[in-house]
Amino acid sequence: MDSRTGFGGAEERAMRRALELAATPGVPLGPNPRVGCVLLDADGRTVAEGHHRGAGTPHAEADALARAGGAARGSTAVVTLEPCNHTGRTGPCAQALLEAGVRRVVFAQADPNPVAAGGAATLSAAGVEVVGGLLADEARAVNRVWSFAVEHGRPFVTWKFATTLDGRSAAADGTSRWVSSRAARLDTHRLRALCDTMLVGSNTVAVDDPLLTVRDAEDRPLPHQPLRAVMGLRDLDPGRRVFDDSAETVHLRTRDPRAALAELFARDRQHVFLEGGPTLAAAFWRAGLVDEVVAYVAPFLLGAGRSAVADLGIATIADAFRPRVVDVTVLADDPEANVRFTLAPHDRTTQGED
């Protein structure tokens, strides 16, 4: 046991394994966080492992306890998120750990959800040794979007767009296929699959007739599709492809980005992939509701045509928005050498500062 941290080496190794379990591929996106759990015996050996597999399935702790059976008594539960303290579709994990006779609980991230929080206090009050904060940053990274949505009361918004070197998303005649390369389009589908909502404006549906589904490299739809959300007041032709049976679709009858996000959050949506046109993008940006930018830049020039984003109300260079560059990637196996920029918007008060 490290006296400085309160954690043992076996516990840190178990937590890293629990983080791997939490990030198990194939778990459907949903309102619940991704959680992993490892049970250790008194000698630091693994007794059982478990992870959450989506809404309505056993939580990670319950999964591990079921696999351990009676061997869970006297064990240490290493969990990536503070054990929950409420009854939802499943019972409270804190109570399950108590009933199993777990001696010690080590968790990474404190639960930011006020409905579920309090498990650590319940366990401590019952005499279980509880220590939190082990690899907390790594655990938060696994549930980056979920944590943001719970703390802010709205979905995390990723704005994606494709542009030419001179900032055009379409030519002067309105043609836009294809500004991005095939490699960029495949990468976009990869990112779409990480979100639970695709959002466009009603004008995009009327003019471009997008399908807004997630597809693989052979253009086959994936088994789990995000919600397709269309934002705007205008009535739309029900024959548009976005209204087919490929995925669920909702029409958000508003032009207010905050109202749209509030309605999506009420539907348990946590990650919006914003792929609308320049007007919708500008509305979200000016409202301060863009949390991540993914821009694909193609190496050619148009000189005229539609801009990637509409007026942002900026009159002078000193007021320019200056997002922080998180990543720059030249897409592999791309003969057109599209470049993907991932950016994080700064707080508005920092704009223009050197």
Q: What DSSP designation does 213 have? A: -
Identify whether the C-beta of residue 50 lies closer than 8 Å to the C-beta of residue 80.
no
Sign, CA dihedral 95-100-102-105, equals negative
Identify whether the C-beta of residue 86 lies closer than 8 Å to the C-beta of residue 92.
yes
Structure tokens at 318: 């000193």
**In this structure, which amino acid lies at residue 333?**
D
Is 61 among the catalytic positions?
A: yes
Q: Of 42, 49, 121, which Cα lies nearest the Cα of 82? A: 121
3-class state of residue 327 by DSSP: strand
CB count, 10 Å around CB of 303?
9
**3-state helix/strand/coil string of 91-159:** CCHHHHHHHHCCCEEEEEECCCCCCCCCHHHHHHHCCCEEEECCCHHHHHHHCHHHHHHHHHCCCEEEE
Q: What residues are paired with 298 via a beta bridge?
A: 164
Residue of 49, 61, 82, 275 marked catalytic:
61
Q: What DSSP designation does 221 have? A: B
